Structure 1
Amino acid sequence: MEFIVLEQFSGILCSAPDALATATLSPHLARLNIPLGTVGCNPKLSVFNESGDVCLALGEPRFSDPALQDVNTLRGPSAAWMQAFCTQGEAALQQVRGRFCVVLIRNDGSDALLATDRFGTWPICYAAQAGALHFSDRADTIPGVTRQVSSQAVFEYLFFHMIPAPTTIFEGVSRLPAGHLLKWEAGSAQCICWWQPTFDEQHAPDFTEAKQQFLQIIQDGVTREAAGHNVGTFLSGGTDSSTVTGMLCKTLGAPAHSYSIGFDASGYDEMEYARIAAKHFGAEHHEYYVTPDDLLDGIPRVATHYDQPFGNSSAVPAWICASRAREDGIDKILAGDGGDELFGGNTRYAKQRVFGWYDSVPGLLRRGLLEPGLALPGMDRIPLVKKGVSYVEQARVPMPDRIHMYNMLVRLGMDNVFEPDFLARIDTDRPQREQREVWQATNAKSHINRMLAYDWKYTLADNDLPKVIGTTQLAGLDVDFPLLSDELLAFSATLPPEWKLKRLTLRWFFKEALRGFLPDEIISKKKHGFGLPFGVWACQHAGLKALASDALSSFRGRGIVKAAFIDDLLNIHLPAHPGYYGEMVWILMMMEFWMREHETNR
């Protein structure tokens, strides 16, 4: 058996005992042949072969067993994984921290175990067909599988602006969800959840002790991730990125390189706060203002880089920011993602608590007075009463369905957007069913912890982390997330729910613990981020307008979205409401560029 190992990996496993397991990928990358019985290690991929068993590993796992960590250091992650699985079986996953994915192939390919970390930051995609398991780290490079675009996946992309795992854009190809493993035995595959968060909602820690532990965990994480690298940070000026930047300056004992992106558009720029944070910590700050011309190059490059359509509109600014850092010689950048989702910082958490108050109103009063009264004709036209009508309408919808009441497709109406033939091929209710399953599976009683666990999948694992990982990869940088370390994740689960959302105060503990470390202006500012004024620019900039029009003109011929809807979108809705409808133009445009590329390379 021989492995052709590249920077990433893929393979085919068969149930037949004499089947050949191969690892191949991306033909543009240099090949490295590793014969049996040797260890092959590089910063991206580690391979270990022993007695007919093979282990492939990506990432930088940290083993809690000192002996295994020694093996990890001396012989590579794949050798440590092999030993861990031999002694502990799949329970070994519980003892490993960090970002990783691993594939253990046994019995010449007839048995295997594939696993990814708690946030799925090193993905594994697979297809089980005719007694064979096909796998890769990308959905578009799985060997031996015909790539056919799934109509259901197209719909879910347009619904979520990304495709949540386990679905991928291709029929019959799945992505291993975060914190899951895949067991391949006797020609069949079984997907199992190996990690699920457990919240200690009865714990009442001492605030001073909790603050000290919190700050130490963050500092340790930043120190660990910065070691051995010419490192910098993304700095948006928010609490998360400012915290990481400040801790990096403290760790280095010298000014850290921080990188910020600005937009010369009203309501979209927060460079002022990035400057405040950089000055406060003494960072060596780098600024760049994105222009519409930057997007002309960036949009097609970012859209086609991903293995499936990805519509997060801040991906292009993130790539531009990462590229500037790479030009300066930075080889690893630290991102602040995770603080909101671990400690209760998203504005919708407070909004949903307000709706949750309706449940405390006695049922007899709700059903006998409020709801009948507010349902009377004309009540929704009285200014003050109108808000009450809207509040009750939303409050009556259970979670998590309430989250998507204002989803663009729901608001516009599926029949108004999609071609009838396309609608007939899809299940429009599947996204809500799958979200309900995630919501119900959460091991938490409090509303805030349920929302956090929900966001760990849909906001982090499926959206924000692929955005940052994909765009930094395109720029040629490594990236890590100190605020998503397993240590900080476990710590956050021990905090009382009211420390995360105190009445309507978001991330109360996080801000109070950082008071005195962060500038007061940063703690009190509203959340922003690398928002992109695409809709505004698409109406003003001739080149960007032409790019969007060309992409949507091609997309209208794919039998997915009604041609009349696209015409109205470009000619009526976008000019009238560029901030709102610009997002729809963006996600259609990104899908079209992705489809063009993959049709060419199929």
Structure 2
Amino acid sequence: MCGYAGMVVTSKAIGALTPELLRAMGNSIRLRGPDDQGVWLDAKLGVGLVHQRLAIQDLSPLGAQPMQSSTNRFTIAFNGEIYNFKQLKARLVALGFQFKGGSDTEVILAAFEAWGVDAALIEFVGMFSIALIDHQEKQLWLIRDRMGEKPLYYYQADGNLLFASELKPLMLCPLFKKDIEQGAVGLLMRHNYIPAPWSIFKNTFKLEPAHYLRFDLLNIAATPVKKCYWQPSLNWNQSLTTQALHEQLEPLLSQVIADQMISDAPLGAFLSGGIDSSTIVSLMQRQSSRPVKTFSVGFNVSGFNEAEHAKAVAKHLGTDHSEFYVEPQDALNIISQLPEIYDEPFADSSQIPTFIVSRMTRQQVTVALSGDGGDELFAGYSRYASYARGFASRQQGLVNKLMNGLPASLVVQLTRVLKSNQRELSQALLLEKVQRYSVGFKSPDARNYYQNQIGYWLNPEAHLKSATRLPYALDDMPLREDPTSTFQWCDINSYLPDDILVKVDRAAMANSLETRVPLLDHRLVELSLTVPTAINVVNGVTKQPLRNILYQYVPRELVDRPKQGFAVPVGHWLKNELREWAEDLLSEKSLADSNVFNSDLIRQKWQAHLTTSHDYSFHLWSVLMFQSWHRKYM
């Protein structure tokens, strides 16, 4: 793993391009790569790079970056791993290329030399974020891997370009303007993350997965060429059988895991005890000559503890297992670090245990495999099934007629009469709740249903002082005959890269830990998207293809239970141990200082969380994360 930053400046701003600034930008993300720092600068072109190295492949200085190709045509800063680099290296040696070291970075450069950038990208199997300078063509390429495992931000304004693995290096540059993009705050409130291409700052963007940008170094202010070089296709194979799929899936997944277990540094795995991580660890242990090191976290709160399940799976498989139980004080200690770890507001509360398990894991290993991706690829989320179950009832019955035929204000009054447990809510909050149900009942199709049901604040822009709704990936989702495939597309193109992978990357890299995600190998993704729902979900039980692999190694009774997720008891904590911290950030003064929210509506939600039985922690966490971030950086 690693991290990098860079800049391309006009002649007017050339004074900002100094080795000292580049080193400072690199130091701000030092934890992504604590083993070494490299700086490269070309004053004539107005280009500079800084790279922070976490040595995984070829621990010698021959793997240091920024690195130049053998002909000096290319200079690269690279974050990630190319798992098939040894096979590519053999092909390149046959073409006459010679190599000084054993790093995948040197192979990447040779591949670009031999085949060109576009053709080489198709050959790479792995995760990567690349900044590539082509001295011959006077071009800069910014490239992101197919599934978005590795991050890449860029800022373009006033004729200058800044780019980095995280936002922190950009904020250190005097050319960067910290103007908040209020529409991005609306997206944060809607989903608890800011989806690509947007970021919290104006003129600052996340490059989307499987895309590259190509800039003209002689005219950096010009609009870059942007290309999507790979796109997964939802193309079901209706003739596919369960057995035929199994005969393809298990060997491929086993090979992917074997490739991702190659490391010159110590390696282990996250283990939650769920289907995905248990499958990964089972296949790891089968291929390992010694016990695999596994790691999990738990909570001493009923309904939130999966550690006991992970421990049982680990015992059965014979792994070398470690676990840590998270207490409220642990959360308090970490919360103050969250703005720096994520460096833009990010509000998936499972960021807390993810950071803790990463910290614990890093004490023993440098690389950890993760089970992320199984829900998206094999239809594991409960919302997929809930739509299908509820669609018929939405089309008929008294509730549907009420929702469609009466004004919302009247439905609120009826709700107060008929539902005693709703009477404690204020008029505004009850109206919002009625509107949310109404949207669900009135949804004409799966696309509309998904957009509204995965959101937290129903109309977030109404809670902001000034914001317009920004367009993003979910606005362009395809509508397919089977709703499940629509939902899968949405999750693969938004929730997975912008929430799940962000959470894991930042939490792990803040602990100088490299994470690898076998299920997101692009060949596995392509195979999974040919699988019809009838094979993924049988009698209401999801992820059957993974279960069929797992049951060969782990008894069903150890893993067959309702999906729990990496849940955190934030609602309970906010009413107790975190109450003082939250009250400070949600006070009238703090909300006035940030000058973004309509404070009355936010305070109303906070008071309802404290004084009623309703849990608004998912709503409030996005506001709290923004307020905490704003206090640190703005």
The number of equivalent residue pairs is 566
Aligned with 1:196 (options 231, 235, 247): 231
Counterpart residue type for residue 562 of structure 1: N
1:509 correspondence with 2:521: no
Greater CA drift, 233-242 or 501-510: 501-510
State yes or no: 1:135 paired with 2:163. Answer: yes
**CA shift in 2, pair 1:517/1:581, >3 Å:** same
Q: What do you get for the CA RMSD once the two structures are aligned?
A: 3.6
Deviation at 1:343, TM superposition (A): 0.9
Q: 1:533 to 1:109 in 2, by over 3 A?
A: farther
Deviation (angstroms), 1:521:
2.2
**TM-score (ref. length: structure 2):** 0.80
Match of 1:299 among 331, 335, 342: 335
* Residues 360-439 of structure 1 aligned to structure 2 (within 5 Å): 375=404, 394=441, 396-406=443-453, 410-411=457-458, 415=462, 417-418=463-464, 422=465, 425-428=466-469, 430=470, 434-437=473-476, 439=477
Give the aligned residue type for 1:488.
L
Is 1:94 matched with 2:135? no
Q: Secondary structure at the match of 2:149?
A: coil
Partner residue of 1:232 out of 248, 255, 268:
268
In structure 2, the CA distance between the partners of 1:495 and 1:10, relative to structure 1 (3 Å rule), is same
The offset of 1:233, in angstroms, is: 1.9
SS at match of 1:400: helix
> Paired residue for 2:425?
none
Gaps of 5+ in 2: 31-35, 43-50, 57-64, 420-433
Paired residues of 1:46 and 1:56 also in contact (CA < 8 A): yes
Q: CA deviation at 1:293?
A: 0.8
Map residues 277-316 of structure 1 onto 2, 5 A cutoff: 277-316=313-352
Cα offsets for 1:258-303 (capped at 9, x unmatched): 2221111122123332222112212222222111111111111123
Rounded Cα–Cα distance in structure 2 between residues aligned with 1:413 and 1:53:
45
- 2:112 aligned residue: 85
Alignment partner of 1:48 out of 62, 68, 76: 68
Structure 1 pair 481–51 and aligned structure 2 pair: CA distance change class (3 A)? closer
Distance in 2 between residues matched to 1:277 and 1:73, nearest whole Å? 44
**For 1:59, which of 72, 80, 90 is the aligned residue?**
80
Q: Tell me the SS of whatever aligns to 2:239.
A: coil
Q: Residues 47 and 54 of structure 1 are in contact (CA less than 8 Å); yes or no, is this contact kept in structure 2?
A: yes
User: CA separation of 1:242/1:383 partners in 2, compared to 1, >3 Å: closer, same or farther?
Assistant: farther
Classify 1:392/1:331 alpha carbon distance in 2 versus 1 (closer, same or farther; 3 Å).
closer
Q: Please report how far the alpha carbon of residue 135 of structure 1 lies from its aligned counterpart in structure 2 after TM superposition.
A: 1.6
What secondary structure sits across from 2:212 in the alignment? strand
Distance in 2, matches of 1:587 and 1:525, equals 30
Rate the CA distance shift 1:397–1:467 in 2: closer, same or farther, 3 A: same
Change (3 A) 1:376 1:172: closer
Does the Cα contact within 8 Å between 1:180 and 1:192 map onto a contact in 2? yes
Inter-partner Cα distance in structure 1 for 2:232 and 2:386: 24
Does 2:171 match 1:171?
no
Which runs of no fewer than 5 residues in structure 1 stay unpaired? 1-5
After TM superposition, the structure 1 stretch with the greater mean CA deviation from structure 2, 21-30 or 174-183, is: 21-30
Question: Between the two proteins, what is the percent identity of the paired residues?
Answer: 23
User: Secondary structure of the residue that 1:285 maps to in structure 2?
Assistant: strand
* Alignment pair present for 1:593 and 2:613: no
Q: What displacement does 1:488 show?
A: 1.7
- What is the match of residue 253 of structure 1? 289
- Paired residues for 1:452-601 under 5 Å: 452-502=488-538, 504-541=540-577, 544-553=578-587, 555-557=590-592, 558-577=594-613, 580-599=615-634
1:319-330 pair list within 5 angstroms = 319-327=355-363, 329-330=364-365
Q: Normalising by structure 1, report the TM-score.
A: 0.84
Question: CA, structure 1 residues 479+171, in 2 after alignment: closer, same or farther (shift >3 Å)?
Answer: same
State the SS of the aligned residue for 1:148. Answer: coil
CA distance in 2: counterparts of 1:34 and 1:566, whole angstroms: 47
Q: Which residue is 2:60 aligned to?
A: none
Any idea what the Cα deviations from partners look like across 1:542-576, whole Å, max 9, x if unmatched? xx221122222254122222333343333332342
* One-letter amino acid matched to 1:84: A
Task: String of CA shifts for 1:393-436, please: whole Å, max 9, x gaps.
Answer: 53633332312434665447754x33xxx2xx3113x35x6412
Equivalent position SS for 1:475: coil
Once the two structures are overlaid, the 10-residue window that deviates more, 129-138 or 341-350, is 129-138
The one-letter code matched in structure 1 to 2:68 is: F
Matched AA of 1:152: G
